Amino acid sequence: MGRTGGLTLTAKEQDCAEQLSRFFPQVRRVRIPVQVTALRGGSTILREAAVVEYGGPEHAIFLSTLPLEFDDRVRIEAIGEGRPAEASVVGVQYHEGRKAVAVRFLQGPCDWVVT
């Protein structure tokens, strides 16, 4: 079991993100605490703390409990790093009750993922 920034991840949870990362060969293992906000119309704000488990210049993969599906848009903000980045969901992997989400950054490479 690993622990990062108050979040505990079991091996099963990590496997979910790892399985999804196989479809994105340009990503590498990272550990970046973030805030993820679903960008949907309406007055309800859906937000959660997460950890980007795999990242690259164009993509990030994180575990999520938000109701995100393909083509949904999110804002990802690294805690204490860079500026927020908008992204679109390009992949979802379900595994043993957990969900890993892959997103593609919409404004080009995201500097806080690749540093």
**Where do we find the tokens 């575990």?**
63
**pLDDT tens, 42-93?**
778 899 999 999 999 999 999 999 999 999 999 999 988 778 999 999 999 9
Return the H-helix or E-strand segment holding 39: none
Domains in the chain with CATH codes: 2-114 (2.40.10.220)
Contact 26, 14 (CB under 8 A): no
Interval 3-42: pLDDT, tens? 444 444 444 445 889 999 999 999 999 999 999 999 987 7
